[in-house]
Structures are given as C-alpha cells and as structure tokens.
Chain A
Amino acid sequence: MSDVVARVYITPKQGILDPQGKAVQQSLRTLGFDEVGDVRVGRFIVLRLAGIESTAAEARVHEMCDKLLANGLIEDYRVQVDGGDR
C-alpha cells in the first residue's frame, strides 16, 4: 500500500467575521481588481498518511478535522484525498 496524500482546506464559516479576508479584498480592489467579490482567508494543510487505503484515510482525516484541525464553531473544512504519490 503506497502513501496517501490528504489535503485539508479550512475556511472561516459563512457569517463568521473574517477580517483577513476583508483586508485582502480591499487591497485587491485598491489594486484595480474590481471583479473581486467575497474573499475568505483560511488554512491549507497537507498530510501524508502511510499504510492506509484512501477510503479509510478520508474517514480518518475527517476525524482529525473534527478533533483538532478545524474548529466547527467558526470554520468549515473540505478534505481531498489522492491515492498514490502526489
């Protein structure tokens, strides 16, 4: 069984104030990127998991997110799992 790579995308929940996103949005508009709408700034985590199948890995990573990687009160997360290398 080869390694599994899991990518976790964590973003502030809709409705939760995201001052970083607001600042980036304003900055982009100042630079002339008028098409920029809502901006959310989050966190991107890459995990390499050994000795596990991608289906099982996905469930484990969800567990990791619920326990530690994301705070469900203020953040949403999305998990993407690739079998094999990269």
Chain B
Amino acid sequence: MRWGVVTFPGSNDDRDTAAALERVLRDDVIRLWHKSDDLEGVDCVVLPGGFSYGDYLRAGAIARFSPIMEAVRAHARAGGAVLGICNGFQVLCEAGLLPGALVMNRSLRFVCRDVVLRVENGSGAAVHGCRPGELLTIPIKHGEGCFVADDATVARVEEAGQVALRYVGPDGEVTEAANPNGSTNGIAGVRNAAGNVVGLMPHPEHAMDPLLGGTDGRRIFESVRLWVQGRRT
C-alpha cells in the first residue's frame, strides 16, 4: 500500500501522519508538496491536519486552490481513496468534495482532548474495517470543527448513510455533553456518496501507540488499507 501525505504551507500533522503510516502500518509513504500536480501513483491521498495558509479567510479556503488539489480531485473522481484529517477535512469541504462546512466551535474555544467516536456504518473507506456501532477513542484538537450544513443537506447525508463517525458518550449515545464542538447531529466524520472520500476532525495519527494513550487510530488507517485492497481485487 502506497500512501501520499500532502504538505501545504502551515500543515503540521503531515510528519506525524507519515510516521504513523511508515512505522506502525509499515506501509510506503510518499510526501507530496502542495505545488506538485502529480500524486505519484499513491493509493490513498491524506490531507493532514494543521493550519494551511494560516487558516486565513476560512480554514481550508485557500489550500483548496493549491495545484495538488486538481490532482486530488481527479484521483477522487476516478474512485481513489482520499482521507482528510482535521484541516484536511476542512479543505475537502471547501473544495466541494465533501458536503457541508466546518465552522468555529460553539464554545468559541480550541478543544484538545480525547473523544469517543461511534462508527455509524462500515461503508466508507476510512471505516471499512470497523463494525457498525464500534467505539473508538481518538483525540481532537481544533477551534473550527463544528460541522454545519443546511437542513436539506443534513437530511440527505443522514439518509444516504454518509455519516461515518459521531461524537458519543462512553455508552455510545449521542448527547449534548459528548459533543465537543456543537456539530450538527454530533457528526465527527462524513464521506462522499461513493465512499472513497472521507473527512474526519479527530486525529487517528495521534492514537497509534499505547505509549501515546491508545491505538484506535490504527482502525481508521487499516480500514483505508482494507478498502484499497478490496478495490484492487
């Protein structure tokens, strides 16, 4: 499996993501510069966390016009796997590759802590190997992670089963208290209609080793790998 990790000016989880994939999953990782327009044959492109272009204007708004994004768009159109983490999720929404938008947390505060996520169904690349209802503990760290969309879009996304992950309490229920940012319906991750493009606010690359507090992040990357392998056969 060959992963591509994009670096935009201001990305800061690109190294950690590459390290997670190389050292824990033992996969090949190609580092992709935002000015390149060539994905170098990777199976999955990861848009990492950070503050691309300083989050100026809106988070992800400027990064979406980077040369690499044309290649990402073409890769997505061809059915290739694309994973957006945190700022990467914001970029995918701004680029129109995922529905909705991510706005300032309802609390107006930057939130940095572990959250419990519930896998809604296993139909997207990033949750392909998970059981529906499975609970994952993965950290978040963001100021603008509140998922919003107009009512019609939310209804469509829910109906089509495009919600990949939701913030839940320890018992797996969606509650106000368990929602760290005010996201509509506790949405933490969504996929496109085809399931090959997935975005999530939590950081799986920071939950890869027991020494760092947990290994549930592996479930996300392993799911993508399983999905890519399934697509090949």
Of A17, A43, A68, A69, which contacts B103 at CB under 8 A? A17
A-B contact count (CB 8 A): 38
Q: A17-B146, A69-B57 are in contact. Are A74 and B104 (CB under 8 A)?
A: no
Smallest beta-carbon distance A30→chain B, Å: 16
Measured as residues with beta carbon below 8 angstroms from the partner, the interface class of chain B is 20 to 34
Q: Is B148 at the interface (CB under 8 A from chain A)?
A: yes
Q: Is A16 at the interface (CB under 8 A from chain B)?
A: yes
Q: Report the Cα distance A25→B153, complex, angstroms.
A: 29
Of A15, A20, A68, A69, which contacts B108 at CB under 8 A? A20
User: In the complex, which residues of chain B have a beta carbon less than 8 angstroms from the beta carbon of A73?
Assistant: 100-101, 149-150, 153
Query: In the complex, which of the residues A16, A20, A69, A74 has the most CB atoms of chain B within 10 Å of its own CB atom?
Result: A74
User: In the complex, which residues of chain B have a beta carbon less than 8 angstroms from the beta carbon of A71?
Assistant: 58, 61, 94, 101
Q: A68-B57, A69-B57 are in contact. Are A16 and B148 (CB under 8 A)?
A: yes
Q: Is A19 at the interface (CB under 8 A from chain B)?
A: yes
User: In the complex, which residues of chain B have a beta carbon less than 8 angstroms from the beta carbon of A69?
Assistant: 57
List residues 144-169 of chain B with CB under 8 A from any CB of chain A. Answer: 146, 148-151, 153
Q: Report the Cα distance A68→B105, complex, angstroms.
A: 22
Whether B150 contacts A20 by the Cβ 8 Å rule is: no
Q: Is B113 at the interface (CB under 8 A from chain A)?
A: no
User: In the complex, which residues of chain A have a beta carbon less than 8 angstroms from the beta carbon of B182?
Assistant: 17, 19
User: In the complex, which residues of chain A have a beta carbon less than 8 angstroms from the beta carbon of B94?
Assistant: 71
Q: Report the Cα distance A70→B176, complex, angstroms.
A: 29
Fill in one digit per residue for B100-136: 1 if any A CB lies within 8 Å of its CB, else 0: 1101111110000000000000000000000000000
Binding site for A on B (CB under 8 A): 57-58, 61-62, 65, 94, 100-101, 103-108, 146, 148-151, 153, 182
Interface pairs A-B: 5 shortest CB-CB: A74-B101, A73-B101, A19-B106, A19-B108, A19-B104
Sample of 6 A–B contacts (CB below 8 Å): A15-B150, A16-B103, A17-B103, A17-B146, A68-B65, A73-B101
Binding site for B on A (CB under 8 A): 12, 15-17, 19-20, 23, 43, 68-69, 71, 73-74
